[in-house]
Chains A and B, each alone.
Chain A
Amino acid sequence: MKVILVYDINEKRVAKVLKICRKYLHWVQNSVFEGEISEAKLVKLKMELKKIINENEDSVIIYTFRSAWYTNRETMGVKKGGEELII
């Protein structure tokens, strides 16, 4: 499953959320992650995030795609992060 995750978190907690996301997904640019992930791992990720965020102040949006076939990805300007498997 393809996932895009974006967040807007209060400064107090943003570093914690960043660290959790790094464990599961590839960092793309500030507050944006993407990657291929299993359903079980996504549940795990959501549970970890739930523990940290303050539901009155923070917001996390997760887009999931069953396949990446019909999507197109275009980058303009600087490429900051990515999903390369060959480093």
Chain B
Amino acid sequence: MKKSIYIFSDGEIKRKDNTLYFETEDGRKYIPVENTQEILIFGEVTINKRLLEFLTESEIIMHFFNYYGYYVGSFYPREHLNSGYMILKQAEHYLDHKKRIILATKFVSGAIENIKRVLIYYANRGKPLNETVDRINSIARSIEDCESTEELMAVEGNIRDEYYQAFDIILDSEHFVFETRTKRPPKNRLNALISFANSLVYTTCLSEIYHTHLDPRIGYLHTTNFRRFTLNLDVAEIFKPIIADRVIFNLVNKGIIKSQHFEKKLDGIVLNDKGKQLLIQQMDERLRSTIQHKRLGRHVSYRQLIRLELYKIQKHLMEEEEYKPFQTGW
């Protein structure tokens, strides 16, 4: 399994002896290029064009985050898997309203299904969550009648409201209360965790899309517009509850993350470097942990699950097999 590299220190990263070399004031380190999947940069890092050329050659995607941990963008190397056919198919499914709604509905229903699984998982561990599940079920009934992606997003939003309210029951911690969902900037610690974890899921999905024939700019639930990647946001919806949220619950319930890992900034609250690193560590472990895949009959990591999901979408676009969103089994 290729590894993801996370850089927090300030320094210079460059190509040296046909591999990656990171130099800081107090040390230097070679990063094995053949074993690197993606690089996430949080620190103040100097790069040059030679490095970007080398990353393209090695098919390594580089994501950048600003001082506060917000995603700022990616170096998305020239497509190495180019397929005009797939782009046409993607556009066809986007432009045909009926086809687009079908896919968008699947992303929402997949997300809801996994949200319910998370709630049921904690309900089985004695948390009083059955009412929330019932309420979500009753809202979820209306997704089949949605005629536009805006309506779908609204239904999903309502379900997420219910779901986030349940965070307080699952966590039961005075230092981490949910209140309401706030972004840009997050107003409390839990919101800061959710925002940061979600942005990591988005970049992971983007990295996986890079290794398929799909074009990340054409999404279905999230409207394709002039500024950014949207397909990764669609796919992330399905995985956010089972990857990001479960990691957050673990961090808080096991007392790994504490109030000293946050700081007040930008009129809100953000994670400090130590906090980010703790979350990244758990997230990385989560993505590498494996589950038994029913259909394939072998162990598959969560990261590979995302890739498999993309292959299923490709099959759907080629009209070979109807897409069925992944549902966790636990």
Instruction: Report B1-55 residues with CB < 8 Å from chain A CB.
Output: 1-9, 17-19, 22, 29-30, 32-35
Residues 185-217 of chain B: 1 if any A CB is under 8 Å from the residue's CB, otherwise 0?
Answer: 000000000000000000000000000000000
Q: Is the Cβ of A85 less than 8 Å from the Cβ of B4?
A: yes
A48–B164 alpha-carbon span in the complex (Å): 53
Partner of A23, one of B3, B7, B32, B284: B32
B250 interface residue, CB < 8 Å from A? no
How large, as a class, is the contact surface on chain B? 20 to 34
Q: Check A23–B4 contact: CB distance below 8 A.
A: no
Q: Which residues of the other chain, B, contact A19 by a CB distance below 8 angstroms?
A: 17-19
B8 touches A86 (CB 8 A): yes
A81 and B17 within 8 A (CB)? no
A9 at the interface (CB under 8 A from B): no
Evaluate contact between A86 and B280: CB separation under 8 angstroms: yes
Question: Which of chain B's residues has its CB closest to A37's CB?
Answer: B35
From the candidates B8, B17, B35, B277, name the one contacting A24 in the complex (CB within 8 A).
B35
B281: A residues at CB distance < 8 A: 86
Can you name the residue of chain B whose Cβ is closest to the Cβ of A87? B7
Q: Mark A70-87, 1 if CB is under 8 A from B, else 0.
A: 000000000001000111
Residues of A within 8 A of B22 (CB): 87
Please indicate the chain A residues that have their CB under 8 angstroms from the CB of B5 in the complex: 85, 87
Given A27, A41, A85, which contacts B34 in the complex, CB threshold below 8 Å?
Answer: A41
A24 proximity list for chain B (CB < 8 A): 32, 34-35
Given A25, A44, A86, A87, which contacts B32 in the complex, CB threshold below 8 Å? A25
Q: Mark A45-84, 1 if CB is under 8 A from B, else 0.
A: 1000000000000000000000000000000000001000
Partner pick for A35 among B8, B35, B280, CB 8 A cutoff: B35
Q: How far is the CA of A34 from the CA of B38 in the complex (A)?
A: 20
B residues 278-296 near A (Cβ < 8 Å) are 280-281, 284
With A22-B17, A87-B22: A36-B6 Cβ-Cβ less than 8 Å:
no
Docked-complex contact A86 and B6, CB < 8 angstroms: yes
A73 to chain B, nearest CB (A): 17
Q: Give the complex CA separation of A71 and B281 in angstroms.
A: 21
**Best-surrounded residue of A22, A25, A81 (most CB of chain B within 10 A):** A22
B63 to chain A, nearest CB (A): 14
Known pairs A81-B29, A85-B284; A23 contacts B34 (CB<8 A): yes
- CB-CB < 8 A to B9: which residues of A? 87
| Chain B positions within 8 Å of A22 at CB level | 17, 19, 30, 32
Q: Is the CB of A41 within 8 A of B35?
A: yes
Least CB distance, A67 to chain B, in whole angstroms: 12
Bound state CA distance, A26 and B20, in angstroms?
Answer: 11
Q: In chain A, what residue has the closest Cβ to B17?
A: A19
What separation, in Å, do the CA atoms of A24 and B35 have in the docked complex? 6
The 10 A-B pairs at the shortest CB distance, nearest first, are namely A19-B17, A22-B30, A23-B19, A86-B6, A24-B34, A22-B19, A87-B7, A24-B32, A23-B34, A86-B277
List residues of A whose CB falls within 8 A of some B CB: 19, 22-27, 35-38, 41, 44-45, 81, 85-87
A to B CB contacts below 8 Å, 5 in the list:
A23-B17, A36-B3, A41-B34, A41-B35, A87-B8
- List the interface of chain B (C-beta within 8 A of A): 1-9, 17-19, 22, 29-30, 32-35, 277, 280-281, 284
Known contacts A23-B32, A26-B30, A37-B35; 17 additional CB pairs below 8 A are A22-B17, A22-B19, A22-B30, A23-B17, A23-B18, A23-B34, A25-B32, A35-B35, A36-B3, A44-B34, A81-B29, A85-B3, A86-B277, A86-B280, A87-B5, A87-B9, A87-B29
